[in-house]
Amino acid sequence: MYPHRPPNSCQAGQAAVETALVVPMMVFFVLGIIQLGMVHHARLMTEYGAYRAVRAGIVNHGDCTIMEKAALAALLPTLAPLPDEIGRVDTLDKAMNVHRLYVQELRIRKNGFYSDGPLPLFRVQVVNPKLSDLEGLFGIYGSHMGTMEIDYDDVRDDRVIEANLLTIRLTYFYELRIPFANWQLHTFYMGREFLDELRGLQFENQRVGGQTATDYLEGRGATRDTDHRVLAELAGKGLFVMPLISTWSMRMQSNLLNNNQYGPGRCATDS
């Protein structure tokens, strides 16, 4: 005689095992979907921020400070709440309060929003006109204006026509904030060009050159440039940041001013 066992006990044990296998995967998928949705939202707001920045620039003489303020206002819905502060921006008053708090915070941290490295919260760069072009145009074309202005509506010189197409590149260093999904997504971003080198490996139990697969991808991505090196350093401290980049162009509707403190020369680049 076999010992008496409660009916369906085997099925109950099987269900428990299946649940233990499926639930972690489901949690991963849910967290990943939430994080990807937040990244997509931030990417859309980055595009909107680039548009708002260049729109502010064309009517304000290419003033970098005004363009940065416009970009910050556009990014407000994606920003994490500052410590002990409310981060909601669903009313105009709340949005103005968050904007004020972030402006104060950015002024305090003059070397970048992330105190652990030189990365700012976001970066507004003028990619057209280039810095080298501005120096020549202000020095030669603008001589009749005391080398201070470039006419936005002068069509007699091809160099001026090209320089008056203001092009802004906004780089938003977006912080991934969903646990577990943040480091996974960050790792794939950093090592996206090197994934073929890990073909056939299982991330959870195999090592590459004495490192885990995730550490290997982070390290490979860090070799790209200074920004990515800092991103890898921040990831090592548990802060996962992904740069979102958008570029927008508009024709100038006011004269470009040669003002190194506020004008396009302060944030112009030759790259």
Domain, as residue range, for 157: 9-176+240-266
Within-domain flag for 212: no
Within-domain flag for 190: no
Q: Residue 43's pLDDT is what?
A: 96
Q: Residue 260's pLDDT is what?
A: 72
The structural domain count of the chain equals 1
Does residue 251 have a pLDDT over 60? yes
**Residue 175 and residue 240 in contact, taking contact as beta carbons nearer than 8 Å:** yes
CA distance 269 to 266: 9
Within-domain flag for 88: yes
- Read off the tokens for 107: 């002024």
Q: Residue 13's pLDDT is what?
A: 63
Instruction: State mean pLDDT over 79-106.
Output: 86
Within-domain flag for 220: no
Does residue 117 have a pLDDT over 70? no
Q: Residue 57's pLDDT is what?
A: 95
Q: Residue 213's pLDDT is what?
A: 75
**Residue 103 and residue 72 in contact, taking contact as beta carbons nearer than 8 Å:** yes
Within-domain flag for 45: yes
Write the pLDDT tens digit of every residue in 3-57. Answer: 555 555 556 566 666 666 666 778 788 888 999 999 999 999 999 999 999 999 9
Q: Residue 67's pLDDT is what?
A: 94
- Read off the tokens for 177: 């904030």
Within-domain flag for 213: no
State the burial class of residue 126 (Cβ atoms within 10 Å of its Cβ: 0-12, 13-18, 19+): buried
Within-domain flag for 206: no
Mention every residue, 6+ apart, whose C-beta is less than 8 A from residue 50: 71, 168, 169, 170, 246, 247, 248
| Cα 70 to chain centroid, rounded | 16
**Residue 164 and residue 141 in contact, taking contact as beta carbons nearer than 8 Å:** no
Residue position matching structure tokens 């073909």: 199
Q: Indicate the average pLDDT of the chain.
A: 83
Write the pLDDT tens digit of every residue in 146-185. Answer: 778 888 888 888 888 999 999 999 999 999 999 888 988 8
Torsion of CA 60, 66, 72, 73, to 10 degrees: -60
Within-domain flag for 85: yes
Q: Residue 240's pLDDT is what?
A: 92
Torsion of CA 186, 188, 193, 197, to 10 degrees: 130
* Residue scoring higher pLDDT (182 or 114): 182
**Residue 258 and residue 147 in contact, taking contact as beta carbons nearer than 8 Å:** yes
Please report the sign of the dihedral spanned by the C-alpha atoms of residue 267, residue 98, residue 47, residue 36: positive
Q: Which candidate, 177, 183, 180, 199, places its Cα nearest to that of 29?
A: 180
Min mean pLDDT across 7-16, 59-68, 128-137 is at 7-16
Write the pLDDT tens digit of every residue in 192-230. Answer: 877 776 666 655 555 666 677 778 888 888 888 889 999
DSSP string, 13-82: HHHHHHHHHHHHHHHHHHHHHHHHHHHHHHHHHHHHHHHHHHHHHHTTTT-HHHHHHHHHHHHGGGSPPP
